[in-house]
Amino acid sequence: MPLSRIVTLIIGLILILGLSLWLIDSLSRLYWQLSYSPLLGNLLLLLLVVLIGALIAAFVYYVLVIRSGEQRSRRKRQQRKQVQIPAVKSEAASSTLQAVKQQVAQIQDEVARQALLSKSREIEANLARGEIQVVIFGTGSAGKTSLVNAIMGRMVGRVDAPMGTTTVGETYCMRLKGLERKILITDTPGILEAGIAGTEREQLARELATSADLLLFVVDNDLRRSEYEPLRALAEIGKRSLLVLNKTDLYTEEDKEAILARLRQRVRGFIAASDVVAVSANPQSVQLENSEIFQPEPEIIPLLRRMAAILRAEGEDLVADNILLQSLRLGEEARKLIDAQRRRQADKIVERFQWIGAGVVSVTPLPMVDLLATAAVNAQMVVEIGRVYGCELNMERGRELALSLAKTIAGLGIVKGALQLLSTALQLNVGTFIIGRAIQGVTAAYLTRIAGKSFIEYFRNDQDWGDGGMTEVVQRQFQLNRRDEFIKDFVQEAIARVVRPLTERAELVEEDQERRLGTGD
């Protein structure tokens, strides 16, 4: 019986006893007053005894039965609530996976689409199996394989191996008493290895680490920056991690405690001090005085205890959190692919309209006052770009957006800057100052490009210009599109699409006029 219930019972009985004494004293006086009638006095005494007994029985029943039942019910409700937490997260993961599949269906690249579908099926399989993934991660010779051997209690990989031996993720299964789920322990290739092969193995190790429910990051000394950064990055994406100091048999007790203190200080804020554990997975053998070789047993009990405590207390949440995290990461990967796909489609629309505008202006040149209205993006381009990003706009809304952006371009002085920039570039490439309408046409194409690129950013951000507004977006696009390497390519294409057709047309007109003069027409 809990101590609190015993104290409550004792205090209640004392109160009942006090009330009973007061009641007995009061009734005894009444009894003596009724002494002339023994029968009535005895009935009164019996009633007193029954009343006191019923009061005591009712109190004991309340404390031992009713209160106990209420506490059991409360514990059951709490247990049901605890069980429901992973279920809710699993449902969230399933919903996210369904949303990812809808996103993946929009991807046109067959290879990329099939790769994402394969990943989604793998996550679904993990959700169905419900295994706990424990991944051993660290540098090449920190002793990861030795640690796996010690945990499993049998040899499952080479020990004292040179860097680079574990070239693929090797997974082993174990059971933990009191935990229904299987525990899969994966030994990963070492990170920070040299060469192309080492880089590829490190990439594999990082991918395995990001899929872990519980991560064991193994070091054999104080953290280097090259180790700290991946550990911090994994913790920031939500990986539950233990930092394991291995090979402690190589240090004195004082040095070991000093290294542990430094490690706890370095990871403070994203790994708890209790999750920094010292082990000796494969202690060095010792030669005894009689020349016999003694092999000490691995010292990993602190790690096993911490792992067991975490997996029993947090195992269900770790699995659910990890599946949800993987689902969100897969969704982000799909979103990036779709964004790149949409950007390519929108860029083609901008390129098509910029040369259409250039052709119109160069054929029918307008005064400079009207150049902005022609060079700014037209409503049809806005509507087509919006459609690529799933925004259905009517022509009226397209014209409003086009006019608003045209005013911004004029207010920033970009028209004048574009004319100067392109006039200089065209003179350098053509060799002579070309006719004015060619300059107008090329400038119109350039301004249409800036407007179109600005609208791509607008639709990419869910029809929002951002904190800096339309002005900041237009200025950024102007700066991006005035770089020397871009201007060089743009002018070369403009010469092919605008200047040469104009020159050829002018030559044809001149030849026609000469022929007419020669024939006297």
pLDDT (0 to 100) of residue 494: 81
pLDDT (0 to 100) of residue 427: 65
pLDDT (0 to 100) of residue 119: 81
| Nearest in space to 93 (alpha carbons), one of 413, 371, 355, 321 | 321
pLDDT (0 to 100) of residue 418: 82
pLDDT (0 to 100) of residue 388: 93
pLDDT (0 to 100) of residue 382: 92
C-alpha pair distances (Å), 347 with each of 202, 489, 495: 36, 16, 20
pLDDT (0 to 100) of residue 403: 85
pLDDT (0 to 100) of residue 158: 45
pLDDT (0 to 100) of residue 278: 94
Mean pLDDT by 10 residues, the chain (521 residues): 60 70 64 58 65 68 57 47 50 74 84 84 73 85 86 57 52 77 84 72 81 90 89 86 93 93 93 93 82 84 89 80 78 88 94 83 56 62 93 89 85 81 70 60 86 92 90 92 85 80 66 64 52
| Nearest in space to 216 (alpha carbons), one of 275, 172, 168 | 275
Token output for 33: 């007053």
pLDDT (0 to 100) of residue 114: 87
Residue 299 is classified by DSSP as B
Token output for 243: 């930092």
User: What is the end-to-end Cα distance of the chain in Å, rounded?
Assistant: 123
The contacts of residue 260 (CB under 8 Å, 6+ apart) are 245, 276, 278
> What whole-number distance in Å separates Cα of residue 17 and Cα of residue 1?
22
> What whole-number distance in Å separates Cα of residue 21 and Cα of residue 19?
5
C-alpha pair distances (Å), 65 with each of 58, 60, 62, 75: 10, 8, 6, 15
> What whole-number distance in Å separates Cα of residue 321 and Cα of residue 232?
18
CA atoms within 13 A on the CB side of 181: 24
Token output for 365: 């040149």
